[in-house]
Each structure stands twice: as C-alpha cells, then as structure tokens.
Amino acid sequence: MTKHHRKYILLTAVLLGIAFRLVYAFSETGKITLEGPITLTAGEAWALNITIDNGSVGDTLEASIINGLQVLHETLTLGTGSIALWHIPEGTITQAGESLLIITYGNDTVEQNLAVLPAEPAQVDLFSTMNSLPSYGEGETTVMILPRDLWGNAPPNDSHFSLHVQYPTGESLMYPFEYREGLGYLQLVSQGGPGRLRLSIAQDQLAASLELVQTSGVPSKVELELVPDCVLNDGRDMVTLEATILDSNAYNVVDGTLVTFTWDDGQGYGRTIDGTAMLRLPAPLQTGHFVYGASSGQAHAEPAMLEVTAERCDVAQ
C-alpha cells in the first residue's frame, strides 16, 4: 500500500466519523445549514451551529427539539457570519430515544433526527410476579430487573446483571437475565423445601435485594386427635378436635389452609396455624360412641371416636 493510499483511507475514516457524530443538514433551498452532534447521552449539554445563507445580523429564527413529551423552543438571533449558536445546558435533554430537531427561518424549514442514548445505570429495581411459590420444584415465578439511568431511561439490552439466589437449603446459584427493551427477566423454579428464598443483584455501585417464600405443597396427610376421648353425659364437657395437616414431604402446609371437621350430625371449619387447626365443641348429651373426622383438600384423617357414658370413663382423661 502506498503512502498516498494510506492518507486517503485515513481521510475517509475521519470523514465517516464526522458524518456519524455530527448533524450536517441543509434545508431544501440550501439556505439553512446545521452543524452539531447527531448523538448525545441523556442529560448532557448539547450545542448546534446554525448558518443562514445570505442572512443578516440581527435576524431571528425559531429552533425546537421534541424530546419525549417535552418540547424545547428558543428564538435565536443571527450574529457575525449569519451564524446562530443554540446551547442547551446539562439536564435538559433527558429522554432517551429519537428526538426531532426543527429549525425555521422565514418560510424555510429544516428537520433532523437526533439519537439520545441512555446514560449509565444509576438505579435498579428487582421484582417478581409472585411473593411465594410452592417448594420442591413445583413452583415457578418470573423475576425481573429494571436498571435505569438518572433520568429513568432503561439501558440497552446488553446489560450484564446476574441474579444471585440463596435457597432455603443454603445452596447459592447465579442466573443470567434475558433482556427486552431494557427490561431483564428470567424464570426461577423453586428448589428444596419450605423457607425463605433470598434474591439479590449487584453490579458496580448498584444493588437490590428481594425475599420470597417457598411454601409447602398441597395437603397430603391429615392427623386427627380428639381430646378427651371419653366424657360423662352431664353436659359439662367440651371436646377439642386438633388436626395436623402435612404435605407429601411431611412439611406443615401453609398457614390459613382450610380444614373441615365432621361429626354425626354436623360439620365445622378451621384454618391452620403452623400446620394445625383446632375446633372446640360441646360433648353430646346422649350416651354412646360418636365419630369425628377431618379433611383438607383431597386428604382425609382416620376417624376419631368419642365415648359418652353415664358412668365413670375407663381411662382418666
């Protein structure tokens, strides 16, 4: 390659760089010429030179930028060389995306698109579609992350946040996010038994955390206890039905699980606290044997028997 060719390639590269970075637009009549950066970062200062062919010192022109929901407008005055300078200070052009620049001089107008890029992330939110999910790999939730710059713009889809998950078993794993329009997301499946599921992210100076709960499974076993199981028929006694509800892995079901208690001529309801539901009833006045039951979901307890007698019970309660 000759020295002349090297100079030509270098000059071409420089010109292409200028074309990428600068607004260099003309009106249809060629009367208005714009020169300034065509891309900028949200929140940074920006300046534009406007040249009017055959303009006069003191003439005015209208300059506008449509940036998101805001419209910036200023009336500029031509100075020496028929040039006007429009300077926009920091913190003014804040909405990332495509903005429209409009310059009007008399009946002549020129328009130019500007690309406003998001700034570096300054804050991040971490959230999930569920606060709790069933354990043992039976539950799944969508975890999302929304990084934003100082102005609320989401970064491009090449962000590299990862989710750190600590399971109730103590095991810790890292998961990458997928991104769409600046929103990161992933599907998280439960692991292990009930307990707290701790989620966190950290990158540079940004951090966020979230805590979910892995709950036990559906009722699989009901254990019913009747206290006492023998009473006199004097109408003074109360009997207590206590049902313990377990899932298929022998963990207590979640608090608030509905339990149905049944007996010969009626039924009642309770809700679990720490896996147990209780119901107190007056003992029957008639002598005989009475059957009590308990169920939750598809799980049923072995029936419990109450003896009501007119004489002393065989076993002290």
Instruction: Please state, for a pLDDT cut of 90, what percent of the chain lies above it.
Output: 71
Q: What is the largest CA-CA distance in the chain?
A: 122
Contacts of 236 (CB under 8 A, 6+ apart): none
Q: Is 19 helix (H, G, I), strand (E, B) or coil?
A: helix
* Three-class secondary structure of residue 229 per DSSP: coil
Whole-number pLDDT of residue 28:
57
Residue 160 has pLDDT above 80, yes or no: no
Instruction: Band the pLDDT of 312: cuts 50, 70, 90.
Output: confident
The contacts found for 254-262 with CB under 8 angstroms, 24 or more apart, are: 254/132, 254/215, 254/216, 257/219, 257/296, 257/297, 258/296, 259/222, 259/294, 259/295, 259/296, 260/294, 260/295, 260/296, 261/292, 261/293, 261/294, 262/292, 262/293, 262/294, 262/295
Between the alpha carbon of residue 252 and those of residues 139, 172, 255, 304, 308, the distances in Å are 17, 25, 8, 21, 32
Q: Judging by DSSP bridges, how do beta strands 221-227 and 140-148 pair with one another?
A: unpaired
Per-residue pLDDT band at 20 (split at 50, 70, 90)? very low
Q: How confident is the model at residue 181 (pLDDT cuts 50, 70, 90)?
A: confident
Band of residue 18 on the pLDDT scale cut at 50, 70, 90: very low
Based on the number of CB atoms within 10 Å of its own CB, is 152 exposed (0-12), middle (13-18) or buried (19 or more)?
Answer: middle
Q: If pLDDT is split at 50, 70 and 90, which confidence band does 205 have?
A: confident
14-49 burial, b at 16+ Cβ within 10 Å, e below that, comes to: eeeeeeeebbebebeeebbbbebebebbbbbebebe
81 Rama sector, left if φ>0, alpha if ψ -120 to 50, beta otherwise:
left
Domains of the chain: 3-117 (2.60.40.1930), 123-215 (2.60.40.1930), 221-309 (2.60.40.10)
What is the DSSP-derived secondary structure letter of residue 283? P
Using a 10 angstrom Cβ sphere, with 0-12 exposed, 13-18 middle and 19 or more buried, the burial of residue 204 is exposed
Strand segments, DSSP code E, in 83-161 are: 83-88, 97-105, 108-117, 123-128, 132-134, 140-148
- At 260, the amino acid letter reads T
- The residues pairing with 251 across neighbouring beta strands, listed in sequence order, are none
At residue 31 the predicted structure's pLDDT band, cuts being 50, 70 and 90, is confident
Q: Which residue type occupies 62?
A: E
SS3 98: strand
What's the chain's Rg over C-alpha atoms? 37
> Cα separation of 42 and 149, whole Å?
9
CA–CA separation, 317 and 289 (whole Å): 16
Question: 1 or 45, which is more confident?
Answer: 45
d(CA 98, CA 95): 9
Q: What is the band of 315 on the pLDDT scale with cuts at 50, 70, 90?
A: low
Supply the mean pLDDT for the chain.
87
C-alpha closest to that of 214 among 189, 180, 247: 189
Q: How confident is the model at residue 29 (pLDDT cuts 50, 70, 90)?
A: low
